[in-house]
Amino acid sequence: MPTAHNATQFAALGREWIAAWNSRDLERVLALYSEGAEMTSDKIQALGFDPTGTLAGKAKIRIYWGKALTLLPDLHFSLIDLFISPDSIVVFYANERGARICEYLRLDAAGKIVQGSANHLAH
């Protein structure tokens, strides 16, 4: 994680995360993640990638997100707010369909994302 709980650095990461997704540049998004990163989402299950909803490693995450980008040609995220802790950030955003989502992102000592979890509104 960035040293000394640097709120400015965390906020910049959250904004870059949104910008990377909006660029539709998968490698730009993946550059924010460590090689061994884990991603958890109910969409992983829905797209048939893993029944646990968790993928480990950039290679598997790249395949999943590559498919998701293909299925969502109008993908666009609008930042609502950012929340920080000493080792993580939560990016609260709305997608192109207006759904509000919280993305929990835990960071390593180098400031790379090691764990992500997409949290969707319960209905």
For 62-75, how does the pLDDT look when each residue is reduced to its tens digit (9 = 90+)?
999 999 999 999 99
- pLDDT at residue 57 above 50? yes
Q: Are 88 and 74 in contact (CB under 8 A)?
A: no
Name residues whose C-beta falls within 8 Å of residue 99's C-beta, 6 or more positions apart in sequence: 120, 121
Res 7: pLDDT? 83
**Would you tell me which CATH number, out of the four given (3.30.1600.10, 3.10.450.50, 3.40.50.300, 3.40.50.720), belongs to the domain 3-120?**
3.10.450.50
Name residues whose C-beta falls within 8 Å of residue 119's C-beta, 6 or more positions apart in sequence: 101, 102, 103, 104
Locate 107 and state its tokens.
Answer: 């960071």
Closest by Cα among 82, 84, 86 to 2: 86
pLDDT digits (tens, 9 = 90+) for 9-45: 899 999 999 999 999 999 999 999 999 999 999 889 8
Q: φ and ψ at 41, to 5 degrees?
A: -165, 145
What gap in Å lies between CA 4 and CA 45, rounded to an integer?
Answer: 37
Closest by Cα among 28, 64, 34 to 49: 64
Q: Where are the domains of the chain?
A: 3-120
